[in-house]
Chains A and B, each alone.
Chain A
Amino acid sequence: MSNALVISNLAKTFDGTRVLDDINLEVRAGEVHGVVGENGSGKSTLVKILNGVHPADPGASAQLWGQNLPLSGRPTHGLGMATIHQDLALVDSMSVAENIGISVQFGTRSLSPIRWRQERKIAGALLREFDLDVPVDTLVGELSPAERSIIAIVRALREIRRHHGGPNLLILDEPTAALPRSESSRLLSIIRGLTQAGSAVLFIGHRMGEVLDVCGRISVLRNGTLVATLNAADTSEQEVVHHMLGFDLGEFYPPKAPVTSEETRFEVTSLSGGPLEDVSFGVREGEILGITGLAGMGQDVLPYYLAGGLRRTSGTVRAMEATLDGTPQSAYRAGVVLVPGNRQRDAVWTEASAAENMTLAFVGQFSSAGLLGHRRERDFTRAQMERVRVRPAAPRRMLAQFSGGNQQKLVLARTLHLKPRVLILHEPTQGVDAGAKKEILGLIRQAADAGTAVLLHSSDAEEVAEVSNRVLIMGYGRICAEVSDRQLSQDALLVESQRAGGSRKVTQ
C-alpha cells in the first residue's frame, strides 16, 4: 500500500479535441502531490474525471488504495477519496455542526430524527483534531476564509471515514485561490498535517510558492499532457514555470514605448454611478493606462459606465470632441470601442461561425447592391484570422470549437479592424493560454504604438505592471493612487491595491 492513487493511460477527448492525453500519475501514500498547469491545461478536467463528472476515454485505468476506480463518468463513494472544490459548497446560513453533518445525512435516515447532541459532539471532536477553536454552533458565514476551508476539509473527512477506514485521499482544487496570504499559510499547515497516518493529498495549485512549499512532488500539465513530475526539494519556481509554459523564460511582455504625445484622447471627469464616485482621469494618444485594484473595488464596472450601456449619474466622458453618454452606440460614433471581459456573455455568440462573429459590428461593409457577399466576408475573416494567428483559420467553423485564446484573438482583431481611437479592454487575457496571452498583449501594444489610447482594466497585477505606461489603483469606487514610470512594478501595485481596498475588505 505505497500508492494512494495510480492513474494509467488516462485520456479525454471533447468533440474531437484532446484535452488530456496519456496521463500517468502516481500519488504516494503520505504525500502531498501538486498538480500545476496553465488555464486550460487540463487540471480541472482531470479532477472532474476522478470525481466521475466526465467519463475517461476507453483504455484508461486508475487504482485508488489498490482498488479499481471505474472512471465511468459516475460518482463513486466509499473508496476513500473526496474532493474539496474552490467554492467549498458550504451553506453560510447554517452552523458548523450542520455543515459537517449534512455530508453524511446526519448519520441517520431521511425521516429519522437527527441526534443533535451526538452531531455536535462529532463536529467538536473533528474541529479539535484540526486545532480549530470555534464553537460548533457558529454560523459558517461568520468564519474567516481559512476556517471555512478547514470546515470543508473536515466535512469531507467525515464523509470519507464513514465508508472507509484507514488512509484517505483528499483532492484540493485551488484551495488557497480565495485566501489572502496571511490566511493561506494556516491552511497550508493543515494540509501538511493531513498526510499523517499514510493519507495523501492531491493539491491542484495556483501559486507557485505555495505549491513548492507544501508539496512533496509536483506534476506539471501542459496542453493536456503531463510533461514532468518533479521533486519539490530539487526544483525551482523557474523550472516548474518552464515546464508549464513549454518554452524558455525571456521577454514575454512587449517592450513599452514611452508616450510622446501630449494630446489627451479620452477624458473622464468626476464620473459617478453605481459603486463609482468622482472618477477622473485622462488617457493620452499612444498611452496604455492600466486600471486595477482588489476585486469589487469598482474597476470591474468602470468600462461599462464608459462604453457598455450603464448610465452614470454625473460627470462627463469625452473622446476628443465627442461626448459619450455610456451607450455602446455613442462610444462607437466617437471611435471608442470596448472589449468586454466576459467573452461568452458579452462579446461573442459561440453558436455562430467565426466569420459571423468577426464581422458583427461592420457586416454592412460586405454588402454590395443589396447583397451580403458571404465569400468576401469569409475571405476577410480568414485574412484577419491569419494576421492574429487564430488557429485554424477556418471562418465557417462554429466559434465554440475554438479555444478561449483563439476566440479572444478574434474579438481583438474585429475590434482593431474598426481602428478605434480609444480602446477599452476589460480582462483581455483572462482564461487564455500563455501563447495567446503573449500575442494579445503584443496586439494591444501595437495598437498603442499606432496612436490608440488604451485603457486596460485587469486584475492581473503582473500584466498591468508590465504592459501599462501608467496605472491607476481603485479602492471603494474611487481612484486612490497612481503609479507610473520607475515605481511601476507588480509589487507596488499589490501594495497600493491592498492599501486602497484591503483593510476594510478583510474585516468585513
Chain B
Amino acid sequence: MKRVIGLKPAEVTGPATQDSAAVGAADHWLPALLKSRAAGMGVPLVLCLMFVIFAALSPHVFFTATNIQVLIAGQSTVLLLALAATIVLRTGDFDLSLSATMILSACAVGVLTKDGWPLPVVCLAALGIGLAAGLVNAFFVVFVKIDGLIVTLGMLTILTGIAGGLTANNLVTTIPESLQHFAARDWLALPLPVWIGWILAAVVWYVFEFTPAGRWMLFIGGNRSASGLAGIRVARIRCLAFVASGLLCALAGILLAGTLGSVDPTSGGGYLLPPFTAAFLGASAIQLGRFNVIGTLTGLYLLAVGIAGLQLIGLSNWIADVFNGGCLILAITAARILRRRGR
C-alpha cells in the first residue's frame, strides 16, 4: 500500500508558488513557438538555397524553363509514392511495398492490354492490385500484429516476384496508346500526371490538416495507446491508411506506364527509397516531428533539385543514389536533433 504522506495536505490559500513559475514560463511560449516555426523552415530554406546556387552555377542549363519543367515532370511518379509513404507513416506504420505495388500495377496494365482487355477494365484491375496489397499489409500488420517493416518487406519481395512472373522479366511494351496520350498531355506547361499528383497532394493535405480523420491519424502515429483509449477506431484508421497507400501506388503505376510507354518489371529498386527520404525530410520541415504533406513536397523537390543540380555541374548518375541515401540519414538525424531542441 502506498501511503503518500502521513498527514492530510491542506487548502490552497492564495496563489500557490508553482503558479508564479508557470506564469513566468508563459511569458516566453510565443518566442518558443516562433522558434519552432523557424526551425520548420530549415528544409524549405535549403531547397531555395540549392536552387539559387545551381541557378547561378548553371544559368543556361539548370535555370531554364525546360529544365524546370523536366525536373517537376520527372517527380510525378515519386510524388504519388511519397504521398502514400506519408499517409502510412503518419499513422505510425511503415510500408516498404510501395514501389513494388506500383511496378506490379504498371506491369498489369501492359499484360492485360496485351490480353485484349479495354482500358477502363485494365485500370480497375491495376487499382485492384493496389487495394489488395493494402488489405494484405493491413491484415498482417494491424490484426495479426506483425512488425510492419517485416510484413511490407515480405510484400515488397512477393510483389516484385509476381511482377517478374507475370512478364517473364521482359520489358512490357503493350501500353495502350490512349493512356500514353493522356499521360503526355500538357496543361499549363506541365503534363497531366503532375497535376493529378498535386491535386491528390492537396486532398491529402486537406484531410491531414482540416478533418478529424487527419487529427486521429496524427495521434495514432504519436501515441497509439492513448488514441485507442480515447475511443478512436485505431485499427480501422490504420487499415484505411494502408489501403489508401496501396491505391495511390497503383495509380502511380498506371501513370508510370502511360508516361514511359513501357515498363521494366525489375526497375522497382530505384523507387524504393526516394519516397521515404522525401517523407522523412518532410517530417523535419514545416511541422517538426510530424509527417505532413507540404513537408513531403518540399523534401521531394529538394531531392530532385539536388540530384539534377549535381548532375548538371558534372557529376554522373551514381550521385542520385548517394544523395538519396545521404539525405535520408541526414533527415532523420536533423529531425531528432530539432525535436530534442524543440522541447
Contact = CB atoms under 8 A, between A and B. Distances in A.
Interface string A397-436: 1101101001000000000000000000000000001110
A482 interface: no
A275 B6 CA distance: 30
B26 A394 contact: yes
Interface residues of A, number: 78
Interface string A63-75: 0000000000000
A391 B19 contact: yes
A462 interface: yes
Q: Report which residue of B10, B215, B232 has the largest number of chain A beta carbons within 10 angstroms of its beta carbon.
A: B10
A323 interface: no
A354 to B, nearest CB: 10
B9 A438 contact: yes
B13 interface: yes
Interface in B14-39: 14, 16-19, 21-23, 25-26, 28-29, 32-33
Interface in A69-93: none
Contacts of B12: 247, 434-435, 438
A351 B228 contact: no
Main secondary structure on chain A at its contact with chain B?
A: mixed
Contact of B4 (A352, A391, A460, A497): A460
For chain B, give the interface size range: 35 or more
Nearest to A15: B343
B289 interface: yes
B1 A372 contact: no
B220 to A, nearest CB: 10
Contacts of A237: 6-7
A367 B212 contact: yes
Contact of A392 (B1, B2, B29): B29
A204 B22 CA distance: 26
Given A351-B289, A391-B26, A208 B6 contact: yes
Given A328-B231, A370-B211, A403-B18, A351 B222 contact: yes
Given A363-B212, A406-B22, A249 B10 contact: yes
Interface string A227-271: 000000000011001001111111111000000000000000000
B233 interface: yes
Nearest to B225: A346
A323 B7 CA distance: 41
B291 to A, nearest CB: 13
Interface in B194-243: 209-212, 214-216, 218-219, 222-223, 225-233
Contact of B229 (A247, A340, A367, A391): A340
Contact of A329 (B6, B231, B339): B231
Interface of A: 15-18, 207-209, 222-225, 237-238, 241, 244-253, 292, 294-295, 308-309, 328-329, 331-332, 338, 340, 345-349, 351-352, 356, 359-361, 363-364, 367, 370-372, 391-392, 394, 396-398, 400-401, 403, 406, 433-435, 437-438, 459-463, 466, 490, 493-494, 497-498
28 contacts: A247-B12, A250-B10, A251-B10, A251-B11, A253-B8, A294-B1, A295-B2, A308-B229, A328-B228, A329-B231, A345-B225, A349-B227, A356-B218, A391-B23, A392-B29, A397-B32, A397-B33, A398-B343, A403-B18, A406-B22, A433-B18, A437-B9, A438-B9, A461-B2, A461-B3, A490-B3, A493-B1, A494-B3
Given A223-B17, A348-B226, A397-B32, 9 more contacts: A16-B25, A17-B25, A18-B21, A252-B9, A340-B229, A360-B227, A372-B214, A437-B9, A460-B4
